[in-house]
Amino acid sequence: MSLMLDSKTEVILALDVESRTKAEKILVATGEKLKWVKIGLQTYLRDGPNFLHEISTGGKEIFLDLKLHDIPNTMVKAIESLSDLPIKMLTLHSTAGPEALEKCAIAAKQFLPNTKLLAVTVLTSMNQNNLTSIGVENKIPDQVDRLAKMAIDSNIDGIVCSPLELMRLRPILPDSTTFVTPGIRPAGSATGDQKRVMTPYQAAQAGANFLVIGRPILASSNPEFALSEIQAEIDK
């Protein structure tokens, strides 16, 4: 089953590297072809808000992947503390629950009006054994469905899920839902610590708005060419 989107599926570079110097070199190496950058916990804690302003000044859109997960009041205060940052998407853990998600959605309208909130469902590094080991008896697809529906019902803008769950979720969630998909590996690439993966073309066909890709670009001797090849695969 193919779910073609009206808008083009875009690549987000996961800028998860060991130093700010390397991150800056990657940004230069990918050139103008790169529009979106994901800043995760490692980079944000190391390099701070100033680095996000630097990236934004360079013409990139920022996806801040902090996966906020705490009591509702603390999550709301965290969103308030991010209000001066140039971010377009921000992640929360859906397992924080509907009260936290609803309050965060309200807070975002006030403090981050130009930012989409995305709910993380089940991490793409987890398989069924991992899920069972933390006391969740649901099968992964059922757990993802449950968390995604709860998040959208709580007025969250979009969902982060593995590409394998995309085709299940697209038909049951509103058309306005933004889908951001990690666990993307070009054909022939090593999967690394990702357990639920698809190729860029498969994920785009399944309905992803954004594909989060790191190692296949970061590890390339020519990151700009690697990015071009991935985009060409999406568009074929």
CA distance 124 to 120: 10
C-alpha 141/C-alpha 150 separation (Å) is 14
| Active-site residue, from 8, 22, 33, 67 | 67
227-232: average pLDDT: 91
67 is catalytic: yes
Give the pLDDT confidence score for residue 197 in this predicted structure.
67
pLDDT level of residue 7 (50, 70, 90 thresholds) = low
Distance in angstroms (rounded) separating the CA atoms of residues 35 and 212: 12
User: For residues 133 and 236, which has the higher predicted lDDT (pLDDT)?
Assistant: 133
Q: What average pLDDT does range 22-42 have in this prediction?
A: 94
Give the chain's mean pLDDT.
Answer: 90
pLDDT of residue 40: 96
pLDDT digits (tens, 9 = 90+) for 173-199: 999 999 999 888 776 555 555 445 688
Q: Which domains does the chain have, with CATH numbers?
A: 10-235 (3.20.20.70)
